[in-house]
Amino acid sequence: MDSRRLLRTSAAAVAVAGLILSGCTGGSDAASPTGSATRAAGGASATPGPASPAPSPEELKKYYGQKPAWRDCGVSGFQCATLRAPLDYAKPAGPEIELAVSRVRATGPGERIGSLLVNPGGPGGSAVGYLQGYAGIGYPEPVRARYDMVAVDPRGVARSEPVACLSGPEMDAYTQVDQTPDDQAEVDALTASFERFAAGCEKRTGAVLPHVSTVETARDMDILRAVLGDAKLHYVGASYGTFLGATYAELFPGRVGRLVLDGAMDPSLSALDLNRDQTAGFETAFRAFAADCVARPDCPLGTGTVESAGEALLKFFHAADAAPVPTGEKRALGESLATTGVIAAMYDEGAWPQLREALTRAIGGEGSALLALADSYYEREPDGTYSNLMYANAAVNCLDLPPAYQGPADAAKAAPSFTEASPVFGEGLAWAALNCTYWPTPATGRPHRITAEGAAPVLVVGTTRDPATPYKWARSLADQLSSGTLLTYEGDGHTAYGRGSDCVDTAVNTYLLEGTPPAPRKRCS
């Protein structure tokens, strides 16, 4: 999996929602309708703020005054348009970037509140795909009745001048590199794979690559707000989308409307701490899965304890490292792909039966089902092509925070603390956090607290056993925000809104429709 910050949210079921990792090799949050990932860096900065001075309103006037030319999308009920923004906000008179936007109009009845912008996380998840595949048709009817549902693919993502890095065969090779190196040769192979990935991104993406940061995307969102004719931004962001929403509130506190930040990230943490915390989150999720599994007579990890289940899974990973499991195709299931397949199923407890079946088959010598889970995480198509999710994920994460490590020696030094956080996943996720070390463009962001003084009430939602965005991150972000309110969901999976809790959905819907957040410290189950 890709410790680059994989927080993402799935638009349909098992694919897009919670990739937040900052240093892994892949990432997914399979199966949540609303989720996203995180990365490593140095210490927290005392002073927040964008990397470059904000351009003046006059310099951006032509962008804020755009009139979108809405057209049919080819998807029933949805319209599409293109939004223009400066490629570099420090040079607003310079080259432009074009961003893909989609909307579905409010259905009524009731007075229209405005536009509700949605983002599924990642970074790298397609917001337009999420809107058209889930939010625009699956959000609660009272919300869709009173809001135009809107999405913009962030710069570098999907339809918005996407970051490109590797060919399909090159990406296949990248996902199979051993992320638990046993000797110097394997360390060298892993670092070389990160170097090839970064070089491919620089070669294939060019001028866009240094300008896909979260701060720049948040500025794009404010242009979109104005173009849509809204005085305030109303927004639901999942996983990494919570960092994007919080960044918007930091830059434009007076323009904050109703912001829901579900599966929250903690912007005050370094990349190293984010990766280690997320590793602990996956361990928490695995233990919940294991407790359920060992109570079943057909559990592929045995019927003993949670600890013995973890030992059985590690034994399988080590066996797959020594002798990859056949899958019926050219790609065999080695340790890296096997680990990614298991992690993919941690994002939603609804995927646990699929994981039990996949592990049963893989341990028995047939790895195709577990490989399919890994492929869903990477968004690999049957024809061997990949979406740009993983490329955008790395590009954004490596700009937003300085790298976790200066080199392999730092990864080796950190590995024991990762293993302490997760005996099952820790070693691999520790080494995966090396990816931003080799990035061709320097980071423009730094970890810092976000207070957004002067913003309207912001609703932060946290799930107690969230694998990708640990619950303590939601507590921290709600405490940082001057107007933050925390809503807690006591349960499993990545993110909470729209995942089956009437208590959570009622609280979020009431906030979106009436502007009233729930009582402080409200808890749902």
Which are the catalytic amino acids? 239, 466, 494
Residue 83 DSSP label: E
Please check whether residue 174 is in contact with residue 197, taking contact to mean a CB–CB distance below 8 angstroms.
yes
Contact 483, 520 (CB under 8 A): no
Structure token digits, residue 31: 């199966």
SS3 296: coil
Structure letter (DSSP) for residue 325: B
Residue among 281, 275, 320 nearest 178 (CA): 320
- Sign, Cα dihedral of 440, 446, 450, 454: negative
Report the candidate in 336, 367, 326, 347 with the shortest Cα–Cα distance to residue 492.
Answer: 347
Separation between Cα atoms, residue 7 and residue 145, nearest integer Å: 29
Distance CA 127, CA 106 (A): 18
DSSP bridge partners of 118: 236
- Per the listing, tokens 């990545």 go with 494
**Strand 147-152 versus strand 96-104 pairing type:** antiparallel
Q: How many CB atoms lie within 10 A of CB 453?
A: 10
Q: How many CA atoms lie within 13 A of 171 on its CB side?
A: 23
Measured distance CA(361)–CA(117) in Å, rounded: 42
Name the CA radius of gyration of the chain, rounded: 21
Write down how long the chain is: 525
SS (H, E, C) 151-218: EECCCCCCCCCCCCCCCHHHHHHHHHCCCCCCCHHHHHHHHHHHHHHHHHHHHHHHHHHHHCCHHHHH
CB 95, CB 207: distance < 8 Å = yes
What is the secondary structure of 422-474 as a DSSP string?
-TTTHHHHHHHTTGGGG-SS------B----TTPPPEEEEEEEE-SSS-HHHH
Q: Are strands 114-119 and 96-104 parallel, antiparallel or unpaired?
A: unpaired
- Count Cβ atoms within 10 A of the Cβ of residue 228 and give its class: 0-12 exposed, 13-18 middle, 19 or more buried: middle
Phi, psi of 85 (to 5 degrees): -150, 160
| Interatomic CA distance for residues 498 and 504, integer angstroms | 8
